[in-house]
């Protein structure tokens, strides 16, 4: 599940609606909405994201957070390492190969290292 999918699910449940009801209101299939929530589909279009924000009745900070999470939640990413050190390329490839085997604690430790690195931008959590 992506951070975007988790947040959509949380907001949908707080509103007390099913996936099927929300999907029908948005004009998408229940299977598509389920795939978005579970991270099996890429980011929604800007237009669909705006419809989701309207349907969920969120404004300002919550809407911006959902847009930010959508930007950060593409389930398939590409990392450009051209021009970086061989070690950076090795790190990117090892992370791609091993991310599915990392524990939640190991992921949190890696995130803490990135948070502390200059210029990487402290992550925001919901």
- Residue 31 sits in the same domain as residue 85: no
User: The domain containing residue 41 runs over which residues?
Assistant: 3-71
Per-residue pLDDT tens for 1-49? 889 999 999 999 999 999 999 999 999 999 999 999 998 888 899 999 9
Q: And the tokens for 75? A: 């389930």
Residues 113 and 95 sit within 8 Å (Cβ to Cβ): no
Nearest to 26 by CA among 9, 57, 48: 48
Instruction: State the pTM of this model.
Output: 0.68
Per-residue pLDDT tens for 93-111? 999 999 999 999 999 999 9
- Residue 13 sits in the same domain as residue 64: yes
- From 56, 71, 86, give the residue that closes a domain: 71
The total of structural domains in the chain comes to 2
Residues 126 and 7 sit within 8 Å (Cβ to Cβ): yes
């Amino acid at each position: 599940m992506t951070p975007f999918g988790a947040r959509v699910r949380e907001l949908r449940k707080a509103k007390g609606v099913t996936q099927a009801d929300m999907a029908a209101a948005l004009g998408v299939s229940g299977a598509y909405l389920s795939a978005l929530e579970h991270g099996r589909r890429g980011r929604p279009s800007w237009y669909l994201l705006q419809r989701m924000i309207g349907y969920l009745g969120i404004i300002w900070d919550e809407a911006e957070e959902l847009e930010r999470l959508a930007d950060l939640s593409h389930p398939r990413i590409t990392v450009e390492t051209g021009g970086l050190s061989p070690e950076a390329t090795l790190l990117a490839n090892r992370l791609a190969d091993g991310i599915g085997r990392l524990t939640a604690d190991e992921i949190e430790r890696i995130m803490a290292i990135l948070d502390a690195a200059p210029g990487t931008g402290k992550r925001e959590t919901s």
